[in-house]
Every structure is written in structure tokens, then in C-alpha cells.
């Protein structure tokens, strides 16, 4: 289809690879963004609707004329971007292991179910198979001193860093209290690390857990609703010096959660909305309000 | 008060007594967000409210690997004395099953309905929905007087209605006085005044310990024994003279549960005690039989706590004497009666008033849209409002009390959905078979039952046909464990699960319910079952006496020693 020799070496962004290696490992060919599709259309001189589409489908529907044209296409492809995942294990609890928490991304394109590139790659990875990765340090989003209370708000895969936090505090016997808010769609299928969380409640490392499953009832219930249900205790924890962490979707989750915190501070701290904002800013300055959202 | 030595009360006894009228910590258990289960002690108490905590046993491994807890859910069973429901109630039941459970409406062997797979968060809405159609699940499970069964088919007697009313009366006299059900599930305000609460909830029958074990009462109307009356703790046989109900023969001590490898446990049919005349005396005798069991039943070993063991320990004569003492009257000699059948009468029948009844074939009592659109069809019938729903102890359903002018409309629905053809076409053995639930939800199951028996019968049918026995109504019953919910010990052929895919094969029960079967082969798999049955059916077809049933043949040929 490409009319090109797979073993042929090509230069792509100052690196030389065989064509096979390049297409397999370096460039994104799964779902090309619209900007790339547009450039492809220019190369093959055809009208192509601007939509996400795989390189394979493009080649099938709008074939290239010859190998030279394909090499031109190579030039417009974009490298695969690295994915950053929060580590969900603790060196003290899971010695010699690094865990990550990945949701397989499923979406529909033209009525067909497709999987996200990286999550699908990880899901299909053979046990014991090799994986290339690097560690990206985050110096802010870390546990406070061992005697400090921690409130963790991590719906969905946002639970990842908190699993490592709790496992760490469990393993080291940290004295601070720990409160977890978790949420997802369905209680029966989406309660990530449910049995671990139950054990942590039993052993006492987790002081409180509140969960919200949005699709189990007619009205959607999210973590912020659970925060409101426990607003009084939430504010008491804040007043007591608790650190608050949020991890997960930037929008709408982290926005809603932040807004809810302001409401709680207003109501239970008897503050005006401006004072509540100030209170939250103060928390941020003290490094007691940390977000890892995406 | 207790006359037996119950120094070592079982843990369940302690839970009951400490439960504050069956409340336990159920409210707290319901509030716990991080588990679909309830607290361990509450699992014993929730039974008294009509539920069992179960989990999907098919999915345990998969869920453990995902760090998810077992998929807990609740089976909710209705209290439905005599198995009767109006069309409107059936519509409600249909909707509730769809909204909150797996959707399958399961007719039990005790003439009631149970729904499976209700998640903890759905339990209260389910019970509240049932409450709006005047149905409840109080005492459907637990150590109390369970659902009272009564001969289902109104055609058997012009005074069926009168006899049937006893089911409701006996159910009522056996209800606990505790208001816990209304508080926990229906959000009724608790009585805060301690004295008032004590007064309202004072329970002379159950006190604070309830019964040592479940207690089952069945009422039969001769000549049909569809309720398998002798398998009940207390069996009442209606005695009718000159078209009038004069009273009941009372038998006591039936019960089928046993435990593999525990020789002290056994299935037992009820022993005939005598005849009781009139309603007042009948209800008194039932009540006092329950109080004897309350006071004398074994409360330390739950495997030995049914009335049958109490009676065998006391002796039947002593039990009768105690009953007469507590009642303040003597029992008369049992009146003559006869049972000629135990089965459901499929198809159309007309009663003495000219009303019509259609008995539907429902395999293993599972109302669902599978081979035929049974569930949809029954909903359509219910929507006409022209039939009542009567469930039978054979896991069957009678669409009942249909006026002559309405018969056509009901018949059209049944014909259009293929229900009549489905009923007519089903083989004799299949129509009379019973299977318990077993996998995937019953925690006691060792082997499959309702998911397996239909396919086993499909393999047995050609063997029957080979020997010309396809119209022989041999009773065949299967349970996934030895506890006897499907009454396998009272069948001509009983399959009792021992391990996955393996069953004990029992033979020699009669067709009317007077004789239990015995174990013929142990722990055999399907090929062995089919081989054994092939040999047995061949012998039976060649050597049977005229009109001899398979069960009677097995006894006469000494295939088992009864």
C-alpha cells in the first residue's frame, strides 16, 4: 500500500530509522489529528474530511501514488508523545515494583469502537514483556510530614497517587489521619482497589472513605457531593492542618471540587466568598492544597 | 422455660437475642458505602426480613483479580400465603424485577416468588416498591414460620377459598411482633418510648429468640398433594364431609434437609398426629406445635434443630401428649383421606362456579423471556386484569378465576406468545420436574440444578422414548446440595449434588408424597447418570406391573431398600 521498502532507512526529525521501526515505534499512525489529515490531503491532492482517522484508513481510502509520495507523508507525521502516569505503588509497600493505574481508553469513531493508543498498548503488553519508560519527577505532589492529616480526592484513575500514598503510610506506620474520596461510574465494576481500600479501613490506616458512583442512580452523584455531605468534618480537618490533594480530570472534576471547597470554607468558616478564596490561597501558599490534574 | 440442655447456644442464637428485635446493625450496614455486603451478624438477621446475602459465584476469581470484592447481592423472597397474587400485584412484581433484580421472576417450591441479584443500594427501593402493592417479605426466610403453602388449584374443592384462607391466618399468627421491618426498610419512625416499644413488640410466641430453625406449614386438599404436605414441619390435610370443611388431619416433623457425611441428619416425612376439629382448635394446635418446637428444639447445633429431630428425640407419642396438654384438648383419630396425585394440572380447567383456570408450564419456575416470551406474555395477561395469579408448590403458575366471557382474551394472548404450544409440547418428565436455584447465587450449592436439569432432561427424553416411556410422569427433582429445597428426597428420581458435575442418584419415592426415596448410586457424573437411567428404564419398561410407577417398581425390585 505504501509502495515502499520497509527496510529502507529514513531520516525523521534528525534521527535515522528503518521505515518499519519508524512506523512501529516512533510516529503516531493510530489516530492522526486533523492538522495532519489536512496536510495528507494536500500531498495526495484529494478532498478529505477533516476528522480523526488512522494512517491505515487514509492509505486505504485515499492511496498514495508512489513510494516518493509516501516518504512525503512520513515527513508530516508526528512523533508519539510520551504519556505521564502517576505511580500508584510505594517502594516501602511494593518493593522492587512500579505500579501504574491505567484506564483503557475506548471511544467510538464512525460507529466503530477504538482504543486509545497508549492505554491499549499497555493493556496488550505481554506479561514479563519489555516496556520503555522514564521517570518524570514531581517534587510538589508528595506526602507531607508523617504526622499531618491528608485528604485525598481522586476519582477514576486519579486514585493512582493516593494508592501509593496510603500504601506508603501503611508501610511506614505514619501517624497522620487519611481521608479518601473516590468516585467512578458504577459501584460493582469501577471501584478501583476496592479490596485494598477495605483492608486499609480495617487496619485503620484509612480514617475515612467516601465514594460516589455517578451512574448507579437517577441523579448523578460525584465526589464533590460526598464532600458536601461531610462538609463539617472536612472543614474541621482543614482547620486541623490537613493537606488536600486532588488528582484526576482537570475539567470538570477539579474545578467542581475546588468550588465545593470554597463553599465548605464559606459555610463552616463563616466567611464571605472573598475570604474563602483567600483561605484557599493561603492553603496553596502553604503547600497544603495540591493538584495533579490533566 | 427451656426444657432441653442448650448450654452451648449457637452463634445465630446469640445474634438473634442481641438483635433488639431483628434490628441488629442493619441500618449501619446499609449506610456503609465501600462494600456491597452487610456486616456478618446482620446476614443472619436479614433473613428474617426475607433476604439472603449472596454473591455471583461464577465471578469470584475474576473479581478477586481485579481487586474488587465478590459481587454481593440479595435474594428477596415474598411472603405470599397460599401463593396468591392479583393481576395488579403481578404487574408491580414484573416492574420491580426489571428495575432492581436480574429480571427473572423465580417461583419457589414454597409457592412464592423470589428475585435475585438485588444490589445493597436497591434493597430498600425494592421493599418499598413491594409495599406500594401491599406485598412484603417479612419472615420469608429465617427462624420463623415461613411462607404457608396451600393446595393451589381451586378446582379441587368448592370450599377451596375457605381452606385457602387458613394460609393467611396461619401466616399471620406466625408473624413476629417486631416493627424492625417497617423501620429499616420503610423508614417508619421508631418508637422512642421504651415502655411503649416493649408493649407493642412483646412477642409471646417468639420471645427474643425466635425459633431454633425455619418452620414450614403446608395445607393439602385431598386428593391432590401438590404441596407435598408431609415434607412440612407441620402438615394439615383438609377433611371435608358433606361439602363442608370439618377440620384437619395434622402431621408433624417433616423436613428434607440433610448434610453429606453427617449420619445424625436425615430427611423425614411428617408423622400423623391426629384430627383437629374446627378453626379455633386448628389454629391453636398449629400455634402450640410451634411453641413446643420453640421450647424443645435444639439451639446449639443448627444442623439438628428442625422439628423432625425434636420429635424423634421426644418420640411422636410424647410430642402428641405435649401438644394436647398445651392445647387443652385431645386430638381425634385421623380421618380417612387419600392422595392420588401431586402434580400441577396443566392447561384449561373449569371450577364449580364456571370460572376458568390455565396452568402454565414454567421450567424450574423461572419466568423469563427465553425459549418463549413467557415473561412478556404473563405481563400482557396481567394487564387485561382478567386473571389472578396463583403460584404452586411445584414451581408452577395458574392463571385463575377467569370469567367465561374473558377466557378468549386470555387464551389469545397465551396462543399468540406460544405459551399454550410450549405447555402442550413439554414432555411429561419435564413438566413434573423440580430444580432448586443452586449456582450461581446459592452459597450452599455444590453442583448445578436449575441451570442444568433442563439440559439433562433433554438427554434423558430420548432414553425414555426408546423404551416407550415418554408419557410416563416420573417425578424427577434435582438440588445442588443435600438441603432439599427442591424436595429431591420425595421424588421417584432424585439428583442430589455432591460436587461440581456430580450427583447422588436416589430412587424409590412414590408419586403422591407418602414415601421418601433412597440413595441408589453415589457421586456420579452425567455419562454415568445416563447409563444408569438407560438400564433402569429398560428394566422398568420390561418388568413393570400394569400401572406401576417407576418409584414403586424400584422398591418392588429392591433396587433400593426402603
> Does A128 fall in a domain?
no
User: What's the mean pLDDT in B355-376?
Assistant: 96
Let me know whether A64 and A168 are in one domain: no
On the question of pLDDT at B356 being above 60, the answer is yes
* Structural domain contains residue A162: yes
Q: Does the structure show a pLDDT above 50 at B3? A: no
pLDDT score of B297 more than 80? yes
Over residues B269-292, the mean pLDDT reads 98
Predicted local confidence at residue B156, as pLDDT: 60
Q: Enumerate the residues of chain A whose CB falls inside 8 A of the CB of residue B35.
A: 198
Residue A59 shares a structural domain with residue A154 = no
Q: Would you say residue A198 lies in a domain?
A: yes
Collect all residues of chain A within an 8 Å Cβ-Cβ radius of residue B71.
188
% of residues, chain B, pLDDT over 90: 95
Cβ count within 10 A of residue B11 = 11
pLDDT digits (tens, 9 = 90+) for B488-524: 999 999 999 999 999 999 999 999 999 999 999 999 9
To the nearest whole Å, the CA of B35 is away from the closest chain A CA by: 8
From A26, A49, A76, the end of a domain falls on A76
How far is the C-alpha of B129 from the C-alpha of B201, rounded, in Å?
A: 25
Report yes or no on A118 lying in a domain.
Answer: no
pLDDT tens digits along B80-104: 999 999 999 999 999 999 999 999 9
**Is B481 known to be catalytic?**
yes
- Which of A50, A76, A102 is a domain's end point? A76
Whether residue A87 lies inside any domain: the answer is: no
Cβ of B34 and A209 within 8 Å? yes
Assess contact for A155 and A161: CB atoms under 8 A.
no
Whether residue A164 sits in one domain with residue A289: yes
Which residue on chain A is closest to B55 by alpha carbon? A188
Residue A276 pLDDT exceeds 60: yes
Minimum distance, in Å, between the CA of residue A114 and any CA atom of chain B: 23
Statement: residue B160 has pLDDT above 70 = yes
Chain A CA closest to residue B69: A195
User: What integer pLDDT is reported at residue B6 of this predicted model?
Assistant: 54
Residue A259 belongs to domain spanning: 150-293
Indicate whether A258 and A154 sit together in one domain. Answer: yes
User: For residue B556, is it left (φ>0), alpha (ψ between -120 and 50) or beta?
Assistant: alpha
What average pLDDT does this structure show over A62-76? 87
User: Residue B400 phi/psi, 5° resolution?
Assistant: -125, 170
Same domain for A155 and A289: yes
A143-185 confidence digits (pLDDT tens): 999 999 999 999 999 999 999 999 999 999 999 999 999 999 9
Residue A1 lies in a domain: no
Same domain for A157 and A279? yes
Rounded to 5 degrees, φ, ψ at B308 are -60, -40
| A201: CB partners within 8 A, 6+ apart | A209, B34
- What is the interface size between A and B, counted as CB pairs within 8 Å? 33
In this model, does residue B259 exceed pLDDT 50?
yes
Contacts of A217 in chain B (CB under 8 A): 121
Q: What is the mean pLDDT of residues B111-119?
A: 97
Same domain, A162 and A249: yes
A105 within a domain of the structure (yes/no): no
In the predicted structure, residue B242 carries a pLDDT above the cut 80? yes
From A76, A92, A113, the end of a domain falls on: A76
Separation in Å, CA of B545 to nearest CA in chain A: 58
Confirm whether A278 is domain-assigned: yes
- Window B:414-473, CB contacts with A under 8 Å: none
ipTM: 0.85
B213 among known catalytic residues: no
Instruction: State the CATH number of the domain containing residue A230.
Output: 3.40.50.80
Tell me how far apart the alpha carbons of residues A200 and B377 are, in angstroms, rounded to a whole number.
50
Q: Are residues A281 and A187 in the same domain?
A: yes
Interface mutation target, options B29, B63, B68, chain A, most CBs of A under 10 Å:
B68
User: What is the average per-residue pLDDT within B113-122?
Assistant: 97
Q: Does B67 touch chain A (CB under 8 A)?
A: yes
CA-derived radius of gyration, chain B: 23
Cross-chain Cβ contact B34/A189 below 8 Å: no
**Mean pLDDT score across all residues of chain A:** 92
Q: What's the pLDDT band for B309 if we cut at 50, 70, 90?
A: very high
Same domain, A63 and A173: no
Domain count, chain A: 2
Check if B436 is active-site: yes
Q: Name the minimum distance, in Å, from the CA of A146 to any CA of chain B.
A: 26
CB–CB contact A188 B71 (8 Å): yes
For residue range B415-444, what is the model confidence (pLDDT) as tens digits? 999 999 999 999 999 999 999 999 999 999
Determine, for residues B121 and A216 on separate chains, whether the beta-carbon distance falls below 8 Å.
Answer: yes
pLDDT class for A34, splitting at 50, 70, 90? confident
B485 is catalytic: yes
8 Å CB contact of B34 and A196 = no
Quote the pLDDT of residue A17.
87
Q: What is the pLDDT of residue B2?
A: 46
Quick: pLDDT tens for B48-70.
999 999 999 999 999 999 999 99
Q: pLDDT tens for residues B330-350?
A: 999 999 999 999 999 999 999
Give the tens place of pLDDT for each residue, B378-395: 999 999 999 999 999 999
Amino acid at each position: 500500500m505504501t509502495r515502499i521498502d520497509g527496510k529502507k532507512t529514513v531520516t525523521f526529525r534528525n534521527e535515522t530509522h528503518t521505515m518499519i521501526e519508524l512506523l512501529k515505534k516512533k510516529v503516531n499512525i493510530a489516530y492522526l489529528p486533523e492538522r495532519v489529515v489536512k496536510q495528507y490531503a494536500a500531498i495526495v491532492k484529494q478532498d478529505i474530511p477533516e476528522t480523526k482517522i488512522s494512517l491505515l484508513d487514509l492509505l486505504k481510502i485515499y492511496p498514495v501514488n508512489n513510494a516518493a509520495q509516501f516518504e512525503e507523508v512520513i515527513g508530516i507525521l508526528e512523533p508519539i508523545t510520551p504519556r505521564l502516569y502517576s505511580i500508584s505503588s510505594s517502594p516501602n509497600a511494593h518493593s522492587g515494583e512500579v505500579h501504574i493505574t491505567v484506564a483503557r481508553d475506548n471511544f467510538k469513531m464512525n460507529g466503530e469502537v477504538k482504543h486509545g493508543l497508549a492505554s491499549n498498548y499497555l493493556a496488550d503488553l505481554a506479561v514479563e514483556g519489555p516496556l520503555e519508560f522514564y521517570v518524570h519527577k514531581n517534587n510538589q505532589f508528595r506526602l507531607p510530614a508523617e504526622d499531618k492529616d491528608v485528604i485525598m480526592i481522586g476519582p477514576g484513575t486519579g486514585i493512582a497517587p493516593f494508592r501509593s500514598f496510603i500504601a506508603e503510610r501503611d508501610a511506614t506506620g505514619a501517624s497522620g489521619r487519611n481521608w479518601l474520596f473516590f468516585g467512578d461510574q458504577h459501584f460493582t465494576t469501577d471501584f478501583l482497589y476496592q479490596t485494598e481500600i477495605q483492608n486499609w479501613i480495617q487496619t485503620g490506616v484509612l480514617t475515612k472513605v467516601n465514594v460516589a458512583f455517578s451512574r448507579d442512580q437517577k441523579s448523578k452523584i460525584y465526589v464533590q457531593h460526598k464532600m458536601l455531605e461531610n462538609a463539617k468534618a472536612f472543614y474541621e480537618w482543614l482547620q486541623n492542618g490537613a493537606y488536600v490533594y486532588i488528582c484526576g480530570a482537570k475539567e470538570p472534576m477539579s474545578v467542581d471540587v475546588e468550588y465545593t471547597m470554597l463553599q465548605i470554607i464559606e459555610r463552616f468558616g463563616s466567611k464571605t466568598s472573598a475570604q474563602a478564596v483567600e483561605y484557599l490561597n493561603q492553603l496553596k501558599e502553604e503547600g497544603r492544597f495540591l493538584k495533579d490534574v490533566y | 422455660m427451656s426444657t432441653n440442655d442448650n448450654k452451648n447456644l449457637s452463634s445465630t442464637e446469640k445474634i438473634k437475642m442481641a438483635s433488639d428485635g431483628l434490628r441488629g446493625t442493619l441500618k449501619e450496614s446499609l449506610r456503609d458505602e465501600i462494600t456491597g455486603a452487610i456486616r456478618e451478624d446482620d446476614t443472619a438477621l436479614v433473613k428474617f426480613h426475607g433476604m439472603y446475602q449472596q454473591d455471583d459465584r461464577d465471578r469470584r476469581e475474576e473479581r478477586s483479580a481485579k481487586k474488587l470484592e465478590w459481587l454481593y447481592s440479595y435474594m428477596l423472597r415474598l411472603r405470599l400465603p397460599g401463593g396468591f397474587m392479583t393481576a395488579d400485584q403481578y404487574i408491580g412484581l414484573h416492574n420491580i424485577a426489571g428495575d432492581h433484580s436480574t429480571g427473572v421472576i423465580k417461583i419457589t417450591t414454597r409457592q412464592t416468588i423470589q428475585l435475585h441479584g438485588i444490589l445493597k443500594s436497591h434493597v430498600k427501593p425494592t421493599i418499598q416498591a413491594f409495599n406500594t402493592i401491599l406485598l412484603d417479605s417479612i419472615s420469608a426466610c429465617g427462624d420463623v414460620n415461613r411462607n404457608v403453602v396451600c393446595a393451589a388449584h381451586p378446582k379441587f374443592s368448592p370450599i377451596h377459598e375457605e381452606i385457602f384462607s387458613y394460609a393467611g391466618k396461619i401466616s399471620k399468627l406466625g408473624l413476629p411482633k417486631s416493627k424492625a421491618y417497617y423501620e429499616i426498610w420503610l423508614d417508619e419512625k421508631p418508637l422512642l418510648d421504651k415502655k411503649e416499644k416493649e408493649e407493642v413488640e412483646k412477642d409471646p410466641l417468639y420471645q427474643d429468640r425466635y425459633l431454633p430453625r425455619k418452620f414450614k406449614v403446608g395445607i393439602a386438599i385431598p386428593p391432590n398433594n401438590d404441596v407435598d404436605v408431609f415434607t412440612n414441619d407441620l402438615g394439615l390435610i383438609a377433611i371435608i364431609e358433606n361439602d363442608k370443611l370439618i377440620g384437619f388431619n395434622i402431621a408433624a416433623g417433616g423436613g428434607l434437609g440433610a448434610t453429606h457425611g453427617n449420619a445424625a441428619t436425615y430427611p423425614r416425612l411428617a408423622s400423623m398426629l391426629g384430627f383437629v376439629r374446627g378453626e379455633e382448635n386448628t389454629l391453636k394446635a398449629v400455634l402450640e406445635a410451634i411453641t413446643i418446637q420453640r421450647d424443645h428444639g435444639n439451639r446449639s447445633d443448627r444442623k439438628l434443630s428442625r422439628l423432625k429431630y425434636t420429635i424423634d428425640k421426644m418420640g411422636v407419642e410424647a410430642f402428641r401428649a405435649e401438644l394436647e396438654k398445651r392445647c387443652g384438648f385431645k386430638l381425634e383419630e385421623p380421618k380417612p383421606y387419600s392422595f392420588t396425585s401431586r402434580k400441577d394440572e396443566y392447561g384449561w380447567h373449569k371450577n364449580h362456579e364456571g370460572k376458568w383456570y390455565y396452568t402454565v408450564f414454567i421450567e424450574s419456575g423461572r419466568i423469563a423471556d427465553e425459549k418463549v416470551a413467557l415473561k412478556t406474555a404473563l405481563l400482557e395477561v396481567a394487564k387485561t386484569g382478567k386473571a389472578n395469579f396463583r403460584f404452586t408448590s411445584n414451581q408452577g403458575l395458574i392463571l385463575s378465576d377467569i370469567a367465561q366471557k374473558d377466557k378468549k382474551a386470555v387464551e389469545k394472548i397465551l396462543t399468540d406468545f406460544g405459551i399454550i404450544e410450549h405447555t402442550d409440547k413439554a414432555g411429561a418428565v419435564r413438566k413434573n420436574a423440580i430444580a432448586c436455584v443452586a449456582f450461581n447465587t446459592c452459597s450452599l450449592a455444590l453442583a448445578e440444578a436449575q441451570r442444568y436439569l433442563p439440559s439433562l432432561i433433554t438427554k434423558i427424553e430420548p432414553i425414555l422414548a426408546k423404551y416407550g416411556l415418554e408419557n410416563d410422569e416420573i417425578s424427577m427433582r434435582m438440588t445442588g446440595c443435600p438441603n432439599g429445597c427442591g424436595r429431591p428426597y420425595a421424588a421417584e428420581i432424585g439428583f442430589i449434588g455432591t460436587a461440581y458435575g456430580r450427583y447422588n442418584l436416589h430412587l424409590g419415592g412414590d408419586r403422591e408424597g407418602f414415601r421418601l426415596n433412597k440413595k441408589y448410586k453415589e457421586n456420579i457424573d452425567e455419562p454415568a447418570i445416563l447409563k444408569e437411567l438407560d438400564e433402569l428404564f429398560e428394566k422398568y419398561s420390561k418388568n413393570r406391573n400394569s400401572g406401576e410407577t417407576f418409584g414403586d417398581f424400584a422398591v418392588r425390585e429392591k433396587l433400593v431398600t426402603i
